A and B are shown apart, each in its own frame.
Chain A
Amino acid sequence: MTRYLLRFVALFYLAFLLVIPVGVVFRRTFANGFGVFWDSITTPEAVHAFKVTLIVALVAVALNTVFGVSVSLLLVRRNFRGKRVLNLLIDLPLAISPVVVGLALILVYGRLTPVGEWFGNRGIDILYAIPAMVMATAFVSLPLVVRELVPVLEEIGTDQEQAASTLGASAFQTFRRITLPAIRWALVYGIILTFARSLGEFGAIAVVSGRIRNETQTLTLLVHERYTNFDQEGAYAISFTLAFIAIVSMVVLTTVRPKER
């Protein structure tokens, strides 16, 4: 009896918090047929936003992959002072408001700051342009690769790596032939997480992008703009697309996961 009651409460909660709301958006997206949906996500504005989103996300993913791999190796394989501080710092972006991230970047890289001015004089805009958007995205998704790699690196140990280097392999060869294959799936997992997070970033991007239509507008900003301009159907269409990508990445993740364990 208790068992059914608990099951009912859990499913009821999930239904009303998660499943039904998402379902309503999916239904409304196609309420006027697939053609209307398709037109809505292929307006010049939407296509441009899609491109911007993709560029920003891909660069941020590339940066965080390189950073993630090196920091994970550092955290697991080396001992140094301040390791615990570094460990805590890596997680910080998860607990910081994206708006604060945006503010932080404005204060250092804004047009009136020394750094911003230096770049501005050389014709490079950081704020209200792609560079700041990449930085904001990389900031918020910073811990994701590291958090996937660290446990795996801890588990595989160093026996094989040591064997490789006694046999004369260089550090790079050891990494490429021994370490990388062992952490491959965790890395894929971390990259997909970072990518999904990057596509969906809103708050930090809203602050540093300047929200310039057909220039720095991303998909999430377009959702917001359309909704506040009373174009609900248009907002639903973009949201559906973003949610679809999110769900596909989740399905990929659950199929990748078991191979590791």
Chain B
Amino acid sequence: MATLYLSVLVLIPLGAVVWRSREDGWSAFWSDVTTPEAWSTIKLTVLASLGVAAINVVMGTLIAWVLVRDSFPGQRIVEVLIDLPFALPTIVAGLVLIALYGPDSPVGVSLAYSRPGVVLALLFVTLPFVVRTVQPVLLELDVEMEEAAASLGASRFTTFRRIILPNLVPAILAGAGLSFARAMSEYGSTVLISGNIPFRTQVSSVHIYNQIENDNTTGAAAVATLLLIVSLVVLFGINLIERWAVNRD
């Protein structure tokens, strides 16, 4: 029963996408993903997702650190707030950002219809990933190791770099992988703030959407297949990292 449900809902439809993209042969597939417009969306999506994953590595680890090792009034509220981007509908996330950083911004910063706007939207929806993978590891980390390092004369920065960071690496990588995969596939939050300008701010998901609207399902399927392959590779990578982390303990 479960297999039937999974097949009808997930496997057969996804198989159809891959099938449709390959229908006219490899060269047709290749020319579909390398049309100037499709290719520019792919470049933007990959680069923006890499950038977002990198920013999340730094900011996510920092936020997790502050949540675990610091204590200040209102910390519980911040703790709950971190998950808000997961709970908020993506179109609402986009609208919220354009309300502050859009054309009639109350602070006078307009990132609408620009690439930084796209990155901002992606940062919003991927915020919780690194925080939520690093936080539990940080909580379980043995403080004794750090105290030992400090008593042997290590500076706080050295302790962090030599003792704490190596323990966090698998979690950080897993979180970065999840952020990257999510950013690659994001649609709703970028729709409003990016303005979907071809060759400038259009991401791959929007390109696929436009191709579907223009009845070019083959072209849509080609780019979709490329995204699918990336998702699979990233998921598999995260799976490997998790297994590596378990074996290392």
| Chain A residues within CB distance 8 Å of chain B | 2-3, 6-7, 9-11, 13-14, 17-22, 24-25, 28, 63, 67, 70-71, 74, 86, 88-89, 91-109, 135, 138-139, 142, 196, 199-203, 206-207, 220, 223-224, 227, 235-236, 239, 242-243, 246-247, 249-251, 254
Partner of A107, one of B16, B72, B88: B16
- Taking a contact as CB atoms under 8 Å apart, the answer to whether A223 and B156 are in contact is no
Binds A, one of B25-33, B146-154, B168-176, B230-238: B230-238
- Taking a contact as CB atoms under 8 Å apart, the answer to whether A92 and B92 are in contact is no
Q: Assuming A13-B59, A100-B224, A243-B92, what are 14 further A-B pairs, CB within 8 angstroms?
A: A2-B156, A18-B124, A71-B6, A74-B2, A94-B181, A97-B185, A100-B185, A100-B205, A107-B16, A107-B221, A200-B91, A202-B191, A224-B192, A243-B88
* Cβ of A145 to closest chain B Cβ, rounded Å: 12
| Chain B residues within CB distance 8 Å of chain A | 1-2, 5-6, 9-14, 16-17, 19-20, 59, 62-63, 65-67, 70, 72, 78, 80-85, 87-92, 95-97, 99-101, 106, 120, 123-124, 127, 156, 181-182, 184-188, 191-192, 204-206, 208-209, 212, 217, 220-221, 224, 227-228, 231-232, 234-236, 239
- Taking a contact as CB atoms under 8 Å apart, the answer to whether A103 and B221 are in contact is yes
* Cβ of B65 to closest chain A Cβ, rounded Å: 6
- Cα distance A202–B205 in the bound complex, in angstroms: 12
Partner of B91, one of A97, A223, A251: A223
The 8 closest A-B pairs by CB, nearest first: A200-B89, A104-B13, A97-B185, A203-B187, A95-B231, A107-B16, A246-B87, A202-B188
- Cα distance A250–B85 in the bound complex, in angstroms: 11
Given contacts A207-B212, A220-B89, A235-B95, contact A6 B66 (CB under 8 A): yes
- Cα distance A135–B5 in the bound complex, in angstroms: 10
Given contacts A98-B187, A108-B16, A227-B192, contact A103 B100 (CB under 8 A): no
Partner of A88, one of B70, B204, B220, B239: B239
- Taking a contact as CB atoms under 8 Å apart, the answer to whether B63 and A13 are in contact is yes
Output the residue of A107, A139, A206, A224 with the most chain B CB within 10 A. Answer: A107
Residues of chain B within 8 A of A21, CB atoms compared: 96-97, 99-101, 124
Given contacts A10-B66, A70-B1, A246-B87, contact A103 B17 (CB under 8 A): yes
Residues of chain A within 8 A of B192, CB atoms compared: 224, 227
Q: Which residue of A lies closest to B97 (CB)?
A: A21
* Cβ of A68 to closest chain B Cβ, rounded Å: 10
Partner of B99, one of A3, A24, A207: A24
- Taking a contact as CB atoms under 8 Å apart, the answer to whether B87 and A247 are in contact is yes
The binding surface of chain B is classed by DSSP as helix
- Cα distance A62–B165 in the bound complex, in angstroms: 43
* Cβ of B44 to closest chain A Cβ, rounded Å: 14
- Cα distance A103–B100 in the bound complex, in angstroms: 32
- Taking a contact as CB atoms under 8 Å apart, the answer to whether A7 and B81 are in contact is no
Output the residue of B14, B20, B191 with the most chain A CB within 10 A. Answer: B14
- Taking a contact as CB atoms under 8 Å apart, the answer to whether B66 and A7 are in contact is yes
Partner of A25, one of B65, B85, B99, B120: B99
- Cα distance A99–B188 in the bound complex, in angstroms: 9
Q: Which residue of B lies closest to A104 (CB)?
A: B13
- Taking a contact as CB atoms under 8 Å apart, the answer to whether B91 and A220 are in contact is yes
- Taking a contact as CB atoms under 8 Å apart, the answer to whether B100 and A246 are in contact is no
* Cβ of B138 to closest chain A Cβ, rounded Å: 13
- Taking a contact as CB atoms under 8 Å apart, the answer to whether A100 and B227 are in contact is yes
- Cα distance A202–B65 in the bound complex, in angstroms: 33
* Cβ of B56 to closest chain A Cβ, rounded Å: 11
Residues of chain A within 8 A of B186, CB atoms compared: 97
- Taking a contact as CB atoms under 8 Å apart, the answer to whether B9 and A135 are in contact is yes
Partner of B127, one of A18, A71, A93, A104: A18
- Cα distance A61–B78 in the bound complex, in angstroms: 29
